Each structure stands twice: as structure tokens, then as C-alpha cells.
Structure 1
Amino acid sequence: MKCVFLDKATFADSIDFQPLQQYADTFEVFSLTPFDKIVERCLNAEVIITNKVVLDESILRQLPALKLICIAATGVNNVDLAAAKNLGIAVANVSGYSSHSVAQYVFSQLLHHVAKPHHHINNVSQGQWQRSPSFCVHGEGSVELANKTMAIIGYGNLGQTVANIAKAFGMKVLIAEQQHATSIRNERVSFDYAIQEADFISIHCPLTDSTLNLFNKETFCKMKSSAVLINTARGNIVNEKDLIDALNNGEIAYAALDVLAQEPPPADYPTLLNQPANLAITAHIAWASIESQQRLINLVADNIKAFSEGRRLNRVD
């Protein structure tokens, strides 16, 4: 069985790819693959592994040997699932591998905002403590997460892990129902109620037609002026222009984005050029602890093994 990995460079150099190789007679690895090289590199492949390389219908129709697509991620929007199904190509993704990594990122951003450790470290490095007549230098102070309200948008593995940590901090957790749902499931609240009550909002839902631009001008107007928004899901869930306007106008207090609508962003990307001081942007790294990356690769290997044995595992086709 020939297996091709199209974008190994989306993983750290320290990750062990040996688990993937044991199920392939031929295993070819490419650092990154531009669109015009996909067919050439995959022409005789039975298995393709892709993290972010797009496999649309036009590509899939040119790959008659292809039997299995392994998406090295949870999101499946880079593969045309309908076309794959029509062509008899199996598709498997992975989930649950990054729950601890993403949750850790969420709370690192929250603690950075409420506890301001860098501010207080700078106070000492700049000599303010040494010159102080009092035993402490309050500076900008800090606030507690306890008794604050956290709204979770998307309650899969990631959302559940974040919710559990929030509860450990003594926070009140609201699980938001889908925005236009006609009924509200047990232990959930309406989307509007969640965003209106929340001190902190953490986004973990997939990007779909219904979540595209879910957070926009109208949404921000409903949020508390002190609210903090964190997006570790997909960039297009948040309308970035509307977010910048909301931050500049004081409609919300702070936001942290680990994802953008275009990745990687060009040098003249508007969100970066117009980034206000109360917007933190990181380069899609919330998922990427070393442990999380290795766990993902091991799970992809499990998917290949299951397919070779005629078993369905993590299939999305």
C-alpha cells in the first residue's frame, strides 16, 4: 500500500512519524504541497494524509488508486466529502487529541488578561518595587476568575475540557445552544443568553454555514463591554473587521485569536495591520503541544490500520 503525506511541515521536527510507516509498503513525505503538485505526487497513492492541503472534487477525480484520505486534524472542511463518497473514497479524521493543549492555551490567555503577570514582572525589572515605600506594588492589579461566567460555544471534547477547568477555577459555566435552535437541550442555554451573560467566551464549534461569521457586529453589541472572546476553532467563525471595530469602540474588552480567516496571513493582512492593543493574535498553535501532535499522528496510524483490516474508525464519509 502506497501512502503519501502531503504536508509534514505542519508538524514539529521532533514528532515521530514511524507509527504511520508501519502500515505502508511505500511511504512518501512532502514538507508542503502546492495545489498544482497534488495529482503528480498522489497519482498512485492508495492513502493520502493531509492536514491542510485541500482535496476537492477536481483533484479526487484524477486519483483512481485512492482508497483512503486521512485528515490529520478534526476539521474536515479541506476535503470534499460528497465527492469522496461518490467516488468510493473513505475519509477519516481524528478528534480528542488536542483537548488538553487547547484548554491550556485558553486559560493561559485568560490568566494573562486577568492576572497580568508580564505587567507585574516588568514593574520589578523597571525598579518600581525597589523604589516603593510599601511592601507591594499594585500596578494594574488583577481580578479573579472565580465567580465569573464562562460561555462555551461548541461542546465537544474541547469545549468539555475547557468547561471542566473553568469549574475548577470556581467559574459559572454556560453551554450555548446553537444560535437559531428551535429548542434548547438539557443543561444548555440559548446562544443569546450565553453571550449576554458571559464574562468570557471560548469558541470550539466547527466552521459550517451556520457558524460562518457567527460573531459579528450584531453579536458583539449583545456582549458585555467587559467581555473577553477567545477563538481557537476556525477563523471565519469571527468576523475580524467587526471584532476590531468592537474592540476599538469598547463594545467588548479583549480578544485572543489563535486562528484567522486566511492562514498564513499575508504581510498586508488587514487584521494584523489594524490590530488594536486589546487584541492578541497567535499563529494557530493552541492545538500544537508536543504531546498533542504525537497523539494525533498515533491516531492517524490507528485509522490506517483499521482501514487495512476492514474496520471503520473515525470515519466521516
Structure 2
Amino acid sequence: MSHKIVFLDRDSLIANVRRPVFGHEWTEYAASTEAEAVERLRGATIAITNKVPLRADALARLPELKLIAVAATGTDIIDLDAAKQHGIVVSNIRNYAYAALPEHTFALILALRRNLLAYRADIEAGLWQKSPRFCLFHHPIRDLHGSRLGLLGYGALGKGVAQLAQAFGMEIVVHTRTPAHDPLVRNVSFDELLETSDVLSLHAPLNDKTRNIIGAAELKRMKPSAILINTARGGLVDEAALADALIANTIAGAGFDVLTQEPPPEDHVLLNLRLPNFLLTPHSAWASTQAMQTLADQLIDNVEAFGRGQPNNVVG
């Protein structure tokens, strides 16, 4: 069987994407909107999408579609129930950013714990140049060694973060749906995770149970000296509540790589938060050169496995 393959947002992946070994017709678009997706997928048997949503109404209009190969780990852009109803296999990418995302997570942690943004602003304002002493210490600097890292979620990426944390001499506690069996970490309740972590890093999927799992009440229960890191999904945190908490110094800082709406509108509450204790990066934690190539290779591995009648990395 020759497949018609359509890649809806090819420019979302800066890597060499090899072509599948089986017979096929390949079409790719640099980017697609949700409204354009149905027409572009007309007659396709395999859809490749990174961030273009495919909801129930779209899937109902694509009777020839057999596989949706998601070029990412998260599949919240796909209506999985509708896909199952129409006999469409959904595959995703797993464990590809095992180095990239943990490294980015620690870049955020280190910048905030050592107040690098605040000290850079001091230098730009000329404060060091005017100092009567050889150094400045206007902002608290906290070591990672001996502090507690709390992880919400303990999949492959959470484990990667834990391994780096061990090298820094941190104590590691975890709260996850299924208790972790790992001598590196200690399982704790959600309450203990919130109330005792010096650094709380989120590595949970986004679903109905985790949406806004960190809101105003949870932020108030965190230590005033704690920082919150989110390199997972924007919807895990109530962003307006976070802005309020940072302005009020309810927590010491936050580092985010994800937002609920991406790209964000100009008036997004966190996009316009100009504070030295908040660091925002543009969903780039996953995007090292090495990680993107690993993703691209696994993406076509998934497509080829489906072509052999042995689909892998199946979701749902």
C-alpha cells in the first residue's frame, strides 16, 4: 500500500527528516492553521503534526486518515477519543530531550537561585561601578547544595532532572501518580511537596486532573524562599495567580519555558512581567540540535513501524 503523508508544520522541526522506506507520496507545509488542516489532509492516510490541533470535527471529515504521528510528546492537540472512534492510530515521541530539557531546567534554577538577572540589572544600572566595596550582594544568593528539589512527575525527564540534582548535592523528593521506586528520591504527599521544596519543578502531563494544579492557594503554601520551574506544560499553573505571587513576593521566583497560549498574545500576563525574579524562555527547552534530530529520527521510526503493521509509541 502506498501512503499519502502530509506534514502540517515542517518548520517546527529544525532537523533532517528522512523519508520513510515504504512507497509514499510526501507533502509538507512550513506551517498550518487549525482551519487549514482538513483541506491539506484531504486524502492523506498519515498526518504528521507538531502543534497543529486535530479535533473531533476535523477527524470526522478525514475518512482516509489512518495514522497521526505527533512530532512531540504531548498529545493534548489531538482528540484521542475521536481518533479511537474513527480507527486512527496516534503515536508520539518519547524520551528524546533526556539531556536538553533537564539542562534547560537547571539553567533556569541556577539563574534564579543565584539572582543572575538582578545582578546583571545592577551592573547595567552602574551600581557595581559605584560600589565602595569590591563586590555587590544586594540580592540573596542561595546554593543548591543541601537544598530540597521537589519534582511533580517522575517520567524520563523528571529522572533526568533528578540525576543533575544529585550531582549538585540536592535532596530530591517526588510526588507522582505512581510512587517512584528509585533510591535517588523519596516519595512525598502533594502537601509536603508544596510546603517543603526549595525548588519545585513541574514534569507532569497536562490533563483534566493536572490543569491549574498550581494556583493561588498552592503558591501561598510554598516557602517564601522557594522558586517554581515549569518546563512541562503551561496549563499546569494559573498564570494570573503566579504573576500576583511574584509581585507580592509570595515566592522568591519562577522560571517558565511554557505558557497556556503559545505563541502568547502581546498582553499576556507573564509576557509583560518585568521582574528580576521571573525568567521566561520561548518553549525552547527541548530544542537543542541533538534533541531535535533524535525527535526527527524517532518520528519517522514511528511512521515506518506503522507501515509495517507494527505501530509503536501508540497513545491511548
TM-score calculated relative to the size of structure 1: 0.90
Percent identity between the two aligned chains: 36
SS in 1 for 2:69: strand
Find the counterpart in structure 2 of residue 300 from structure 1.
299
Q: Work out whether residues 46 and 66 of structure 2, in 8 Å CA contact, stay in contact via their aligned partners in 1.
A: yes
SS in 1 for 2:163: helix
Find the counterpart in structure 1 of residue 17 from structure 2.
17
User: 1:222, 1:270 → 2: CA distance?
Assistant: 22
Distance apart, 1:280 and its partner CA: 1.4
Residue identity matched to 1:139: F
Distance apart, 1:62 and its partner CA: 1.2
Find the counterpart in structure 1 of residue 107 from structure 2.
108
SS in 1 for 2:255: strand
Q: Work out whether residues 2 and 24 of structure 1, in 8 Å CA contact, stay in contact via their aligned partners in 2.
A: no
Distance apart, 1:137 and its partner CA: 2.1
User: 2:23, 2:70 → 1: CA distance?
Assistant: 17
Residue identity matched to 2:94: S
User: 1:128, 1:217 → 2: CA distance?
Assistant: 36
Find the counterpart in structure 2 of residue 232 from structure 1.
231
User: 1:229, 1:78 → 2: CA distance?
Assistant: 25
User: 1:243, 1:127 → 2: CA distance?
Assistant: 29
Find the counterpart in structure 2 of residue 194 from structure 1.
193
Q: Work out whether residues 21 and 27 of structure 1, in 8 Å CA contact, stay in contact via their aligned partners in 2.
A: no
User: 2:190, 2:150 → 1: CA distance?
Assistant: 9
Find the counterpart in structure 1 of residue 5 from structure 2.
3
Q: Work out whether residues 2 and 45 of structure 1, in 8 Å CA contact, stay in contact via their aligned partners in 2.
A: yes
Find the counterpart in structure 2 of residue 158 from structure 1.
157
The 10-residue stretch of structure 1 (285-294 or 271-280) with the greater mean CA deviation from structure 2: 271-280
Deviation string 1:71-95 (CA, Å, 9 cap, x unpaired) is 1111111111111111111110011
Find the counterpart in structure 2 of residue 313 from structure 1.
312
User: 2:249, 2:132 → 1: CA distance?
Assistant: 35
Distance apart, 1:275 and its partner CA: 4.6
Equivalent residues, number: 308
SS in 2 for 1:201: strand
User: 2:122, 2:247 → 1: CA distance?
Assistant: 25
Q: Work out whether residues 128 and 137 of structure 1, in 8 Å CA contact, stay in contact via their aligned partners in 2.
A: yes
Find the counterpart in structure 2 of residue 248 from structure 1.
247
Q: Describe how 1:46-195 pairs up with structure 2 within 5 A.
A: 46-117=45-116, 119=119, 123=123, 128=128, 136-140=134-138, 142-178=141-177, 187-195=186-194
User: 2:135, 2:255 → 1: CA distance?
Assistant: 27
Distance 1:37-1:177 versus aligned 2 partners, 3 A rule: closer
User: 1:233, 1:23 → 2: CA distance?
Assistant: 35
Distance 1:253-1:132 versus aligned 2 partners, 3 A rule: closer
User: 1:108, 1:45 → 2: CA distance?
Assistant: 41
Structure 2 gaps, min length 5: none
Q: Work out whether residues 120 and 139 of structure 1, in 8 Å CA contact, stay in contact via their aligned partners in 2.
A: no
Q: Work out whether residues 244 and 275 of structure 1, in 8 Å CA contact, stay in contact via their aligned partners in 2.
A: no
Distance apart, 1:23 and its partner CA: 4.2
User: 2:121, 2:213 → 1: CA distance?
Assistant: 37
Q: Work out whether residues 17 and 300 of structure 2, in 8 Å CA contact, stay in contact via their aligned partners in 1.
A: no
User: 1:115, 1:316 → 2: CA distance?
Assistant: 40
Find the counterpart in structure 2 of residue 220 from structure 1.
219
Q: Describe how 1:23-42 pairs up with structure 2 within 5 A.
A: 23=22, 25-42=24-41
Deviation string 1:243-292 (CA, Å, 9 cap, x unpaired) is 11111112101001111111111112233234544221111111111111
Distance apart, 1:35 and its partner CA: 2.0
Distance 1:258-1:138 versus aligned 2 partners, 3 A rule: same
Distance apart, 1:115 and its partner CA: 3.2
TM-score calculated relative to the size of structure 2: 0.90
Residue identity matched to 1:258: D
User: 1:302, 1:177 → 2: CA distance?
Assistant: 30
Deviation string 1:162-221 (CA, Å, 9 cap, x unpaired) is 01110110000001134xx9xx66641101101111000110100011111100011011
The 10-residue stretch of structure 1 (274-283 or 27-36) with the greater mean CA deviation from structure 2: 274-283
Distance apart, 1:117 and its partner CA: 5.0
Distance 1:80-1:137 versus aligned 2 partners, 3 A rule: same
Distance 1:254-1:63 versus aligned 2 partners, 3 A rule: same
Structure 1 gaps, min length 5: none
Aligned-pair Cα RMSD in Å: 2.3
Distance apart, 1:159 and its partner CA: 0.4
